[in-house]
Structure 1
Amino acid sequence: MPATRREFLRTSALASTLLLVPKFLHALDRGPGLSNATSARRLIVVQLGGGNDGLNTVIPYKNDLYYRARPTLGIKEAEGILALEKDLGLHPALKGLKGLYDQGQLAVLNSVGYPNPDRSHFRSMDIWQSGSSAEQVISTGWLGRYLDADGSGCPHPYHALEVDDTLSLALKGALRKGLAVKNPAKFHQISQNHLLAQVSKETTPAHHDQVDYLYQTLAETASSADYLYEKSKIYRSTGAYPNTEFGRNLKTTAELINSGVEARVYYLALAGFDTHVRQQEQQQRLLADLGEGLAALADDLQRNNQWANTLVLVFSEFGRRVAQNASRGTDHGTANNVFLLGGALQRKGVLNEAPDLANLDQGDLRHQIDFRSIYAAILRDWLDADDTAILGPGFERMKLFS
Structure 2
Amino acid sequence: MQRREFLQTSILASTLLFVPKILHALDRGPGLARLADAPGARRLIVVQLGGGNDGLNTVIPYQNDLYYKARPTLGIKESEGILALDKGLGFHPALKGFKSLYDQGYLAVLNGVGYPNPDRSHFRSMDIWQTGSGSDQNLSTGWLGRYLDSGAPGCQNPYNALEVDDTLSLAMKGTQRKGLAFKNPDKLHQLTQNRLLSKVSRETGSDHHHAQVDYLYQTLAETASSADYLYNKSKVYKSAVTYPQSEFGKNLKTTAELINSGVESRVYYVALNGFDTHVRQHEQQQKLFTDLGDGLAALADDLQKNGQWANTLVLVFSEFGRRVGQNASNGTDHGTANPVFLIGGSLQQKGILNDAPDLANLDQGDLRHQVDFRGIYATVLKDWLGADDTSILGTDFERMRGLV
Sort the TM-score into its range (normalised by shorter chain). Answer: over 0.9
The one-letter code sitting in structure 1 at the alignment partner of 2:25 is D
* Alignment map for 1:2-401 (pairs within 5 Å): 4-8=6-10, 10-15=11-16, 28-30=24-26, 36-39=34-37, 40-155=41-156, 158-196=159-197, 197=199, 205=209, 207=210, 209-401=211-403
Write out per-residue CA displacement over residues 351-391 of structure 1, whole angstroms, 9 at most, x where no aligned residue. Answer: 00000100000000000000000000000000000000100
The answer to whether the 8 A contact 1:157-1:221 is kept is no
Q: TM-score, normalised by structure 1?
A: 0.93
- Of residues 155-164 and 280-289 in structure 1, the stretch that sits farther from structure 2 once superposed is 155-164
Matched position secondary structure for 2:299: helix
The answer to whether the 8 A contact 2:44-2:266 is kept is yes
**Structure 1 residues 13 and 157, CA gap change in structure 2 (3 angstroms):** farther
The answer to whether the 8 A contact 2:24-2:223 is kept is no
Q: Distance in 2 between matches of 1:258 and 1:4?
A: 38
TM-superposed CA distance for 1:398, in Å, is 1.4
Q: Distance in 1 between matches of 2:91 and 2:296?
A: 15
**Matched residue pairs, number?**
392
The one-letter code sitting in structure 1 at the alignment partner of 2:152 is G
Q: Distance in 2 between matches of 1:26 and 1:154?
A: 10
Q: Distance in 1 between matches of 2:258 and 2:6?
A: 35
Matched position secondary structure for 1:112: strand
Q: Distance in 2 between matches of 1:93 and 1:299?
A: 19
Matched position secondary structure for 1:14: helix
TM-superposed CA distance for 1:194, in Å, is 3.2
Q: Distance in 2 between matches of 1:87 and 1:246?
A: 31
The one-letter code sitting in structure 1 at the alignment partner of 2:323 is R
Q: Distance in 2 between matches of 1:247 and 1:37?
A: 24
TM-superposed CA distance for 1:31, in Å, is 8.0
Q: Distance in 1 between matches of 2:158 and 2:330?
A: 44
Q: Distance in 2 between matches of 1:13 and 1:245?
A: 26
Matched position secondary structure for 1:344: coil
TM-superposed CA distance for 1:118, in Å, is 0.5
Q: Distance in 1 between matches of 2:348 and 2:195?
A: 50
Q: Distance in 1 between matches of 2:247 and 2:134?
A: 32
**Structure 1 residues 306 and 5, CA gap change in structure 2 (3 angstroms):** closer
Matched position secondary structure for 1:150: coil
The answer to whether the 8 A contact 1:156-1:224 is kept is no
The answer to whether the 8 A contact 1:142-1:171 is kept is yes
**Structure 1 residues 398 and 159, CA gap change in structure 2 (3 angstroms):** same
The one-letter code sitting in structure 1 at the alignment partner of 2:270 is L
Q: Distance in 2 between matches of 1:217 and 1:32?
A: 19
Matched position secondary structure for 2:343: strand
The one-letter code sitting in structure 1 at the alignment partner of 2:343 is L
Write out per-residue CA displacement over residues 164-194 of structure 1, whole angstroms, 9 at most, x where no aligned residue. Answer: 1110001100000010021101111111213
The one-letter code sitting in structure 2 at the alignment partner of 1:37 is L
Q: Distance in 1 between matches of 2:158 and 2:354?
A: 37
TM-superposed CA distance for 1:138, in Å, is 0.5
Tell me, which stretches of 5 or more residues in structure 2 are unaligned? none
The one-letter code sitting in structure 2 at the alignment partner of 1:348 is K
Q: Distance in 2 between matches of 1:50 and 1:27?
A: 32
Identity of aligned residues (%): 72
The one-letter code sitting in structure 2 at the alignment partner of 1:30 is L
The answer to whether the 8 A contact 2:160-2:179 is kept is yes
Q: Distance in 1 between matches of 2:389 and 2:401?
A: 14
Matched position secondary structure for 1:267: strand
TM-superposed CA distance for 1:226, in Å, is 0.7
Q: Distance in 2 between matches of 1:174 and 1:27?
A: 15
Q: Distance in 1 between matches of 2:368 and 2:220?
A: 46
The answer to whether the 8 A contact 2:34-2:262 is kept is no
Aligned alpha-carbon RMSD (Å): 2.2
Write out per-residue CA displacement over residues 64-110 of structure 1, whole angstroms, 9 at most, x where no aligned residue. Answer: 00000000000000100001101000000000010110111000000
The answer to whether the 8 A contact 1:30-1:156 is kept is no
Q: Distance in 2 between matches of 1:259 and 1:383?
A: 21
Write out per-residue CA displacement over residues 266-322 of structure 1, whole angstroms, 9 at most, x where no aligned residue. Answer: 000000000000000001100110000000000010011111110000000000000
TM-superposed CA distance for 1:27, in Å, is 11
Q: TM-score, normalised by structure 2?
A: 0.92
**Structure 1 residues 27 and 324, CA gap change in structure 2 (3 angstroms):** closer
Name 1:22's counterpart in structure 2.
none
TM-superposed CA distance for 1:202, in Å, is 5.6
The answer to whether the 8 A contact 2:243-2:250 is kept is yes
Tell me, which stretches of 5 or more residues in structure 1 are unaligned? 19-24
